[in-house]
Amino acid sequence: MPSPRYWREIPNRYRLEARRCGSCSRVVFPARRICPGCGGSEFETIALSHRGTVVTSTVVHVAPAEFLMEAPYAIAVVETPEGARLMVQVTDCDPAEVEPGTAVDLEFRKIRREGNGGILCYGYKGVPAG
């Protein structure tokens, strides 16, 4: 990933920054310019709670090249208490235990190593709530 692109995404990748719509209160993650719920464009920046519940999930066995060494791994759509939904890997547990309804904490982790230079890319992963 070219460094300007990675840099642009730091607010959501490092700080779980989301936005709450000033008109309808919907929380969008990552930030958008237009609210998908009401079309509003006035937002307040908020930080998401570092916890949530699995909406749906899978365990990836056939992985993309950059994740080959990690397979099989669990990946899930997680909903935070603010109502934002994000896709994250769920780690530090048996992948088979990650199911709809599973409670997770969100922790800052290394996500991937990219390109020949092996640039480290960070973000959030789920871990069993505790």
Partner 1 sequence: MREVAIVAAGMTRFGELWQSSLRDLFVEAASEALRNAGTDRLDAIYVGNMSGGQFVGQEHLGPLMADHLGMAGVASTRVESACASGGVALRTAVLEVASGMSDLVLAAGVEKMNDGVDVTNVLATAADQETEVYHGITFPGLYAMIARAHMKAYGTTEEDLAAVSVKNHRHGALNPKAQFQTEVTPEQVMQSSMVAEPLRLLHCSPVSDGAAAVLVCSLERAREFTDKPVKIRGSGLATASMALADRPDPAFLDAVSLAASRAYKAAGIGPADVQVAEVHDCFTIAELCAIEALCLTERGAAGEATRAGETALGGRVPINTSGGLKSKGHPVGATGVAQAIEIVEQLRGEAGDRQVEGASLGLCQNMGGSGASSVVHILERV
Interface ranges with partner 1 (CB under 8 A) = 9, 30, 36, 55-67, 70, 72-73, 75-77, 85-89, 99-100, 111-112, 121, 123
Least distance between partner 1 and beta carbon 42 (Å) = 20
Least distance between partner 1 and beta carbon 23 (Å) = 18
Quick one: DSSP state of residue 101?
A: T
Q: Is 66 helix (H, G, I), strand (E, B) or coil?
A: helix
Say if residues 78 and 55 touch (Cβ distance below 8 Å).
yes
The 10 Å CB-count burial string (b at 16+, else e) for 62-91 is eeeeeeeeeeebbbbbbebebebebebbbb
Least distance between partner 1 and beta carbon 125 (Å) = 8
